[in-house]
Amino acid sequence: MAERLAAATAATLRASAAAPSARRAARASRAFFPNPSASPARAGVALRAAPSRLPQKARAVRCSAAAATAASDATQLKAAREGIRELLGTTHCHPVLVRLGWHDSGTYDKNIEEWPQRGGANGSLRFDVELKHGANAGLINALKLIQPIKDKYPGITYADLFQLASATAIEEAGGPKIPMKYGRVDVTGPEQCPPEGKLPDAGPSSPADHLREVFYRMGLDDKDIVVLSGAHTLGRSRPERSGWGKPETKYTKNGPGAPGGQSWTAEWLKFDNSYFKEIKEKRDQDLLVLPTDAALFEDPAFKVYAEKYAADQDAFFKDYAEAHAKLSNLGAKFNPPQGISLDD
């Protein structure tokens, strides 16, 4: 009897002690999971109030940490853009900077999902093994020109710098504003460079088929092929590098920059639609027309776009800006994933 009374007393004491804990647990549970029978207004207040429990300082630290993981620093990107503008004004290197950006991104293969095996805009062109690819002849000069900017602004990636230089060169030459984004991640070593043979050849046996083979592999289409070819309105071809063009012409013998080479247009530092006009007319023997250039007016599907751009510079500029931005993003891994805009 005494034992049963003692047991009953102990049970009562345990139940009494547990009740406050149970009530506290119930209150805690309701704080994070509102009672479904409560009014929507009260439930909404509970849900909205939860974030305010995180101290303001902690939220600021968390945001700063996220910003610190971005591939490139936006402030340094803007400063680097000014540095590129100054470089363009003194060296007239617009064409080679455009080519640098294109050749870094133009190795992309849409059929390969893994980064960086898929190629594209990842900064791999800074390594000697890729610079020595035949299609990249002369691009060591572009890298030497912009390396001081990279040294001055170490908070940006090579992948972003190459594309920033390319887009800025187009704009500074009178071309359209390119809707660019930044935050591309760099590859880390030469072993991550793409194999040779990913870029277009100037004189293939079947120019139109070759262009489609290369650009379709990148996920681009006929319009992209034609409009991007229009960037040849800038620059010259040097036979000692590419095997194409004359050593010099009346348009190139005095520079600006190092004299020589053969240009596609008379004003080869001005971005406009004269490339399409000159190829269509073929009236000046001092201007270059490669087999892949001529194909734009020989292939029926290409010709539709080439005729359009020869007649309408505004249409060319609009389509070019879109295609250039698309090309600059190929294969890139962005951090943050949505990229960084310099014009916000």
Tell me the pLDDT tens digit for each residue of 19-73: 444 443 333 333 333 333 333 333 333 333 333 344 444 343 344 344 457 999 9
Cis bond upstream, residue 116 (ω within 30): yes
> In this structure, is the dihedral angle defined by the CA atoms of residues 289, 291, 296 and 298, taken in order, positive or negative?
positive
pLDDT on residue 344? 66
Annotation says 103 is catalytic: yes
Cis amide leading into 336 (omega within 30): yes
CA–CA distance, 114 with 298 (Å, rounded to integer): 37
Choose the catalytic residue: 103, 210, 232, 324: 103
Omega within 30 of 0 (cis) for the link into 256:
yes
Residue carrying the six token digits 């990107």: 77
Under 8 Å CB-to-CB from 292, ≥6 apart: which residues?
Answer: 200, 201, 202, 203, 204, 207, 210, 211, 229
Give me the tens of pLDDT residue by residue for the chain, a chain 344 residues long. 444 434 444 444 344 444 444 443 333 333 333 333 333 333 333 333 333 344 444 343 344 344 457 999 999 999 999 999 999 999 999 999 999 999 999 999 999 999 999 999 999 999 999 999 999 999 999 999 999 999 999 999 999 999 999 999 999 999 999 999 999 999 999 999 999 999 999 889 999 999 999 999 999 999 999 999 999 999 999 998 888 999 999 999 999 988 999 999 999 999 999 999 999 999 999 999 999 999 999 999 999 999 999 999 999 999 999 999 999 999 999 999 999 999 86
pTM of the model: 0.80
CA angle 124, 130, 134 (to 5 degrees): 145
Residue 195: left if φ>0, alpha if ψ -120 to 50, beta else—which one? Answer: beta
Given a contact cutoff of 8 angstroms between Cβ atoms, the answer to whether 200 and 291 are in contact is: no
With a CB cutoff of 8 Å and minimum separation 6, the contacts of 198 are 106, 107, 109, 119, 214
